[in-house]
Chains A and B, each alone.
Chain A
Amino acid sequence: GAVVSQHPSWVICKSGTSVKIECRSLDFQATTMFWYRQFPKQSLMLMATSNEGSKATYEQGVEKDKFLINHASLTLSTLTVTSAHPEDSSFYICSAPLGRSNQPQHFGDGTRLSIL
C-alpha cells in the first residue's frame, strides 16, 4: 500500500484563489519532505525542502510567498499555492525519505492543479 498519501489528486479552481495540497507519511515519521513540480512532458524540478518544526528551504527561483510550505507535524507537510494564476497550473508531487540515509524515497501520487 501507499506509504505517502497526497491529497487532493486533482483540483480545479479559479484564478486568485489559494489551494492547499497535503502530503502525509503513513506509518513512519518524516522530519523532511520534498516538493517537486512537473510540467507536461518535462522532468520533476525540486521546489523546496520541508523541514518539521522549522522553515522550509526553497530552491533558487521559487517564490516563497507564492508557495507556502508548512511542516507542522512529523507526518504532514502542506504546500499552499497562494493567489493562484493559470501559470501555476502544473503537477505537484511530494516525497518523503525513510530514515536518515534517505532510503528509500517514497512518493505521493501527485496533485494535478488546474487554474482557470
Chain B
Amino acid sequence: AQTVTQSQPEMSVQEAETVTLSCTYDTSENNYYLFWYKQPPSRQMILVIRQEAYKQQNATENRFSVNFQKAAKSFSLKISDSQLGDTAMYFCAFMKPNLPQGGKLIFGQGTELSVKP
C-alpha cells in the first residue's frame, strides 16, 4: 500500500520570502503521479502542481516548483515570493494512473502554511 508523509504540521514564512514544504512517499509502483493541493479556509481543493513519475524534469507553475527525487521518494514544494493568499493547508498526494485500479488520491497529513505580512 502507498503512504504519503508530510512531517511539517505547520510552517510560517514572511511575505515575499521563499518556503519549502516537505513530502515523502512510499510505493513499489514505477509509474504514478504526485500532486500538491492547496486548501484555503473555504476548504475548496485547488491543484497547485503535479508531477509524472516518469518525467525527470521538475514541474514548475509560476511561483511554485517541486524537487522530485524518485529514488529517495521525495517530493518537496517550493513557493517563491510568498504572498498572503498562499496562506492555506497544503496536501501532498499520490495517485496511480489509469482506472479502474488507479485514480484514487492518497493524501499526506497536510502542512498548514501561514504567510505573515
Smallest CB–CB gap between A80 and chain B, Å?
A: 21
Question: A63-77 CB contact bits vs B (8 Å, 1 = yes)?
Answer: 000000000000000
B85 interface contact, C-beta 8 A:
no
Cβ-neighbour of A102 out of B42, B43, B95, B108 (below 8 A): B95
Q: A44-B91, A105-B47 are in contact. Are A32 and B106 (CB under 8 A)?
A: no
Interface centre among B43, B102, B108 (most CB of A within 10 A): B43
Query: Which residues of B are interface residues toward A (Cβ below 8 A)?
Result: 33, 42-45, 47, 50, 91, 95, 97-100, 102-110, 112
Q: Is B103 touching A102 in the complex (CB atoms < 8 A)?
A: yes
**How long is the Cα–Cα vector from A95 to B39 in the complex, in angstroms?**
14
Q: Which residues 14-53 of A sit at the B interface, judged by CB distance below 8 A? A: 31-32, 34, 36, 38, 41-46, 49, 51
Query: Which residues of A are interface residues toward B (Cβ below 8 A)?
Result: 31-32, 34, 36, 38, 41-46, 49, 51, 91, 93, 95, 97, 100-105, 107, 109-110, 112
Q: Determine chain A's interface SS by DSSP, over half rule.
A: strand
Q: A43-B109, A43-B110 are in contact. Are A110 and B44 (CB under 8 A)?
A: yes
Apart from A93-B43, A93-B45, list 4 A-B contacts with CB within 8 A.
Answer: A45-B107, A91-B43, A100-B98, A102-B33
Chain B residues within an 8 Å CB radius of A93: 43, 45
Q: Is A34 touching B103 in the complex (CB atoms < 8 A)?
A: yes
Q: Is B43 touching A34 in the complex (CB atoms < 8 A)?
A: no
Interface centre among B45, B95, B112 (most CB of A within 10 A): B45
**How long is the Cα–Cα vector from A95 to B105 in the complex, in angstroms?**
10
Smallest CB–CB gap between A38 and chain B, Å?
A: 8
**How long is the Cα–Cα vector from A44 to B42 in the complex, in angstroms?**
15
Cβ-neighbour of B104 out of A42, A43, A49 (below 8 A): A49
